[in-house]
A and B are shown apart, each in its own frame.
Chain A
Amino acid sequence: MAAKIYECIEVIGNKIIENKDFLTDLDRLIGDADHGINMARGYTEVLKTLDQENTDIGAVLKDAGKVLIKTVGGASGPLYGTAYMKAGKVMNGKTEVTAEDAKAMMDAIIGGIKLRGKAEQGEKTMLDSIIPAYEALCAGIDSGKDLKACLDDMCSAAEAGVEYTKTIRATKGRASYLGDRSIGVQDPGATSSLYTLEAIRDFAAKL
C-alpha cells in the first residue's frame, strides 16, 4: 500500500508540535525564545491546509514549503521552507521515494539551506545535524544496507551532530551575539532538524 506524503508530514508536524516547549526553551537560552512557537504555528497550518489525498510527493512538499515560508517567520521559515521546496523539486511528479531520491533530496536541501542562510557546517546551525545525517545516509546506501537501517544511521549521525553543537560557539543567527556564552547549549535549529529526520525514520519504519 502506497502511503501518502501527507501522512509523513503529519508525523513530522506532530513531533515538532509535541516538542514545541523544549525547542522554545533551548532558544530562550541562546536566541530569542520563539523557535518552538514559530515552528509549531507553521506545521499547524501545514497540516490544516495541505491536500491529504495528493500522491504527487513533489507537489505536496512544495506546498508545505510555501505554507512554512508564509507562516513561520524568523529565520526558520525561509530555511525550512527552502528545504521543502528543494526536496519538492527533486520529487516532482513522483509517487514513491527510492534510496537515490532520499540522497538527492538531502543534497538539494543542504544546498538550499547553505545558500539561503549563507552558512556552512560548524557554525552551530541546522546544518550541523543535517550534513552528518546526509553523509551517514549515503554511506549506508552505498554499502548496500536496507533503507530502514540507513535511516537509523542517518538519525544517529544527526543526534551526534546535535551533541556536537553543544561544544561549539555560534557564528550564525542570534546565538552568535553571545560569543562563547553559546557554548554548552545545543542548537535549537539542529534539534528541530533531528526531530524532522527522526519523524521520517519512524514513519518509514511502519511502512
Chain B
Amino acid sequence: MKKLINNVDNVVDEMLNGMIAAHPDYVQRVPGTEVLARTGNKKTDKVVLISGGGSGHEPAHGGFVGLGMLDAAVAGAVFTSPTPDQVYEAIQATECGKGALLIIKNYTGDVMNFEMAADMAGDEDIEVAQVIVADDVAVENSTWTTGRRGIAGTIFVHKIAGAAAEAGKDLAEVKAVAEKVIANVRSMGMAIDACTVPAVGKPSFDLAEDEVEIGIGIHGEPGTHRESISTADQTVDTLLDKILAEGIYAAGDEVAVMVNGMGGTPLSELYICNNRVAAVLADKGIKIAKTIVGNYMTSLDMEGFSITLLKLDDELKAYLNAPADTPAFTQF
C-alpha cells in the first residue's frame, strides 16, 4: 500500500484538522469530537441540517458545511458510521430551537447510529427529524436487501434541503423538500479499480486488468457484477439504462445531472462520460437544467464514477439554484 498518510490511526483526525486549516471561515471542530460545524454566516434561527457517515468520501460531508447546505458534518472512521455520541454532539452544538434534520445515507450502521443519537436528543427535548437517502439503483429495493444504498444523490439532498432551511422553512417543510429530492433522485456507479482502506492495507476487491465492477457502492463493497472493460460511452449507457428504467425520467422532464468521480479518476475522463450523458438525455428529450461534474462523493482512491439524475419541479429547481457557499460547492 502506498498512501500519503502518517499513521493509519490518525487519518481522520489529521484530515479534519487539515480541512479546518484550509477553511477556517467555513468550518470549525466541535471540541473533543469528530464533528465539523459551521463558522461565520451562521443564522441562529433556522432549521439545522446535519449529515455525516464514514470518512473516505471527501469532500462529503465536511466539505458541504456552510451557507445553504449543512450546519454540521459528523466524520466516522474510514467507511464506518460515526457513533451515536458523536452525532448527538453535532445536534447539541448546532441546536438553535428550530429543530434538526438528520440526512442519513441508507446503511445499516448509519441508520442505527443516527437513530440512537436522535433518541438521545429526544430525551433532551431537542426536536429532531430524519430522512434516509437511498438512491443507488444497483441494489434491488426488496425485502431481500437492507434497501438501496445512499450514494452521490445525497449531495442534492444537502443542497436543496439546505436552501429550504436557509429560506426559513420549518422542520416539517424542510423534511418534505428533502423527501421530494429523495423520491426523484437515482444514481449508479462503477469501478475500474478498487480502493484501499488505510487500516486494511490491501484493495477491497481484486479486478483483472480487463475487468470492471458494475454497481459498486462507495465503501469498496463489490458491485452487482463484473464485465469486460468497454468504452466510456458504453459504460455510461449501462449505468444510464438502469437509472432510466426506473421510469421517473421522461421526455419533456427537466433534470439535474451529477457525474461524480470516485476519487481516483481524472476530471478529463469524467467529462468524457458527461459528454455521453448529455447526448443520451438530449436524444431522449430530457432537458438538463444543471450539471455538476467532479469529485463529490468519493470512495478513497477508487477509480470509477457514478451518474446521478434528479427530476426537478419549480420548487426543487429554485432551491437547487439558490446560493451556496461551502468548501466544496459554491454558487452565487
Contact = CB atoms under 8 A, between A and B. Distances in A.
Contact of A176 (B77, B78, B83, B145): B145
A37 B202 CA distance: 14
Interface string A149-183: 00000000000000000000101111011110100
A74 B80 contact: yes
B140 A34 contact: no
B83 A75 contact: no
Nearest to A79: B112
Nearest to B217: A177
A111 interface: no
A173 B146 contact: yes
Given A28-B204, A73-B109, A117-B108, A34 B199 contact: yes
Interface stretch (A5-13, A51-59, A64-72, A132-140): A64-72
Nearest to B146: A176
B200 A174 contact: no
B144 A69 contact: no
Contact of B140 (A33, A76, A77, A179): A179
Given A78-B109, A171-B145, 16 more contacts: A32-B197, A34-B79, A34-B200, A38-B77, A69-B85, A71-B83, A73-B77, A73-B80, A73-B113, A74-B81, A75-B112, A78-B112, A171-B143, A174-B219, A177-B138, A178-B222
A70 B77 CA distance: 12
Interface string B64-100: 0000000000001111111111000000000000000
Interface in B113-157: 113, 116, 138-140, 143-146, 149
Given A69-B116, A179-B144, A75 B204 contact: no
A88 interface: no
Given A33-B204, A174-B221, A179-B140, A69 B199 contact: no
A117 B77 contact: no
13 contacts: A31-B221, A72-B83, A73-B80, A74-B109, A75-B81, A79-B112, A116-B112, A173-B146, A176-B144, A178-B221, A178-B222, A179-B144, A179-B145
B112 A117 contact: yes
Contacts of B116: 69, 78
Nearest to A31: B221
A12 B221 CA distance: 28
B200 A75 contact: no
A173 B112 CA distance: 11
A78 B84 contact: yes
Contacts of B146: 171-174, 176-177
B54 to A, nearest CB: 8
Q: Which of B144, B145, B217 is most buried by chain A, counting CB atoms within 10 A of its CB?
A: B145
A24 interface: yes
Considering the complex of A and B, which 10 residue pairs feature the smallest CB-CB distances, nearest first?
Answer: A75-B109, A74-B109, A73-B80, A176-B145, A78-B112, A32-B219, A75-B108, A74-B80, A176-B146, A173-B108
Interface residues of B, number: 36
A14 B103 CA distance: 36
Interface string B192-231: 0000010110001100000000000101111010000000
Contacts of B113: 73, 77-78
Interface in A90-129: 116-117
Contacts, number: 105
Given A77-B83, A178-B222, A24 B200 contact: yes
A32 B79 CA distance: 7
A31 B80 CA distance: 11
Contact of B139 (A41, A75, A116, A177): A177
Contacts of A31: 221
B107 A33 contact: no
Contacts of A34: 77-80, 197, 199-200
B243 to A, nearest CB: 17
A70 B149 contact: no
A22 to B, nearest CB: 13
A156 to B, nearest CB: 29
Contacts of A71: 83
Contacts of B85: 69-70
A37 B83 CA distance: 15
A74 B144 CA distance: 21
Given A31-B221, A32-B219, A173-B146, A70 B83 contact: yes
Contacts of A176: 139, 144-146
A71 B83 CA distance: 7
A79 B116 CA distance: 11
A152 B331 CA distance: 64
A181 B140 CA distance: 14
Contacts of B78: 34
A139 B83 CA distance: 37
